[in-house]
């Protein structure tokens, strides 16, 4: 059985509570797809409501902790040593289009170190969670990254910049480089779940640019506890504020990092 500290239990309970109305919303989106207005306003409302539920639940259990959240930004708490990092709906575009691949992501930072992570897809009821020094789990099943040593049989995931953002040429060049030496690339549109999939051994590695702290905080804990290597795309440790991330097992990480460093767009 997995070890779940009181703090991790609080995070799991908050994610599950916030996920229930999202499942109902997801059912409603099917009707909105055929309307002229479209689902954008509906999704924005769901995003904000989900974040409020998470902050309310977490604040009730840990009233002095601070927050860094996608919608409301930074909220300073009396306890300067603890901070929750929240993405209420990671994979908003998937959610908007009725694709059941999105997640609530909650990370907990203690004294500047990430110590807990919860990633929850409420539609599939897949709950990924991890605690520093206590392992990573999917619905109480222990997770480990893959053991592959070569790029050729490996499957990787990445993300692409949204329409209107810079970086399309570089992302395309990186995808071409990795595709040429691997089994392929997947682009699923939710960074937190991409990280969780690497931790679960479904993907062999993942990289992306242009990310925010709430996209990756929980996933970083999962990756580390599943035995993976996770860095920024310079090989450093600035994943939260540097905007880039690269992860894989200890064999593939240096190979993927070297390959991507050599890409020019």
Q: Looking at residue 199, which CATH number applies to its domain?
A: 3.40.190.80
The Cα–Cα gap between 230 and 242 comes to 13
Q: Is residue 184 part of a domain?
A: yes
Beta bridge partners of 105: 87, 119
DSSP for 127-140?
Answer: EEEEETTS-EEETT
Residues 138, 195: one domain?
no
Region of poorest pLDDT, from 29-33, 70-74, 238-242: 29-33
Residue 57 to residues 12, 61, 217: CA-CA distances in angstroms? 11, 7, 19
Q: How confident is the model at residue 122 (pLDDT cuts 50, 70, 90)?
A: very high
Average pLDDT over residues 17-27: 94
20 and 133, same domain (yes or no): yes
Question: Both 207 and 136 in a single domain?
Answer: no
Residue 1 lies in a domain: no
- Cβ within 8 Å of residue 141, ≥6 positions away: none
What per-residue confidence (pLDDT) applies to 45?
87
Assess if residue 148 is contained within a domain: no
Secondary structure of residue 261 in the 3-state scheme: helix
Q: What is the mean pLDDT of residues 34-57?
A: 80
Q: 140 falls in which pLDDT band (50, 70, 90)? A: confident
Domain of 16, CATH number, reads 3.30.540.10
Question: Do 122 and 227 sit in the same domain of this protein?
Answer: no
Report yes or no on 150 lying in a domain: no
The helix (H) or strand (E) run that includes residue 178 is helix 168-179
Domain boundary among 142, 167, 195: 142
pLDDT at 37 over 70: no
214 occurs within a structural domain: yes
Q: Single out the residue in 142, 176, 195 at which a domain terminates.
A: 142
The verdict on 34 and 138 lying in the same domain is yes
Cα(214)–Cα(100) distance, rounded to whole angstroms? 20
pLDDT tens, residue by residue, 196-253: 999 999 999 999 999 999 999 999 999 999 999 999 999 999 999 999 999 999 999 9
Instruction: Decide if 32 is inside a domain.
Output: yes
Note the pLDDT of residue 110.
Answer: 97
Rounded CA separation 207/245 (Å): 5
Instruction: Output the average pLDDT for the chain.
Output: 93
Q: In the 8-state DSSP scheme, what is residue 159?
A: -
Give the percent of the chain with pLDDT over 90.
82
Total domains, the chain: 2
Query: Do 159 and 41 share a domain, yes or no?
Result: no
Helix (H) or strand (E) holding 114, with range, is strand 113-121
**Residue pointed to by tokens 């990633």:** 119
Q: Among all chains, which residue has been given the structure tokens 């880039």?
A: 244
Domain co-membership, 173 together with 109 = no
Q: Is residue 147 part of a domain?
A: no
* One domain for residues 16 and 128: yes
Is the Cβ–Cβ distance between 215 and 192 less than 8 Å?
yes
Among residues 129, 132, 108, which one has the least CA distance to residue 119?
A: 129
pLDDT value at residue 36: 45
Same domain, 12 and 99: yes
- Integer Cα distance of 115 and 161 in angstroms: 29
Q: Which of 142, 170, 190 is the last residue of a domain?
A: 142
pTM for the predicted model, two decimal places:
0.94
Segment among 28-37, 132-141, 164-173 with least mean pLDDT: 28-37
User: What is the predicted pLDDT for the residue at 79?
Assistant: 96
Residues 128 and 16 occupy one common structural domain: yes
Q: What is the pLDDT of residue 98?
A: 86
- Looking at per-residue pLDDT, the higher value among 38 and 211 belongs to 211
Q: What pLDDT shows up at residue 34?
A: 47
| Domain residue limits at 81 | 6-142
């Amino acid at each position: 059985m997995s070890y779940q500290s009181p703090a991790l239990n609080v995070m799991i309970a908050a994610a599950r509570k916030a996920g229930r109305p999202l499942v109902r919303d997801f059912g409603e989106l099917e009707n909105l797809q055929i309307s002229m207005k479209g689902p954008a306003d509906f999704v924005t409302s769901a995003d904000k409501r989900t974040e409020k539920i998470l902050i309310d639940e977490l604040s009730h259990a840990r009233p002095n902790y601070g927050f860094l959240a996608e919608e409301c930004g930074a909220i300073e708490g009396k306890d300067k040593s603890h901070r929750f990092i929240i993405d209420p709906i990671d994979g908003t575009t998937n959610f908007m289009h009725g694709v059941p691949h999105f997640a609530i992501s909650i990370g907990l930072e203690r004294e500047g170190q990430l110590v807990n992570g919860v990633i929850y897809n409420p539609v599939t009821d897949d709950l990924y969670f991890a605690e520093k020094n206590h392992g990573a789990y999917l619905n109480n099943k222990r997770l480990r990254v893959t053991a592959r040593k070569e790029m050729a049989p490996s499957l990787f995931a990445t993300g692409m910049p949204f329409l209107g953002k810079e970086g399309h040429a570089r992302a395309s060049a990186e995808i071409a480089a990795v595709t040429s030496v691997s089994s392929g690339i997947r682009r699923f549109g939710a960074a937190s779940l991409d990280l969780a999939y690497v931790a679960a051994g479904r993907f062999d590695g993942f990289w992306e640019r242009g990310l925010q702290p709430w996209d990756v905080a929980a996933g970083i804990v999962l990756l580390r506890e599943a035995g993976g290597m996770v860095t920024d795309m310079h090989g450093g440790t600035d994943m939260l504020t540097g905007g880039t991330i690269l992860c894989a097992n200890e064999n593939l990480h240096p190979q993927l990092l070297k390959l991507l460093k050599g890409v020019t767009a």
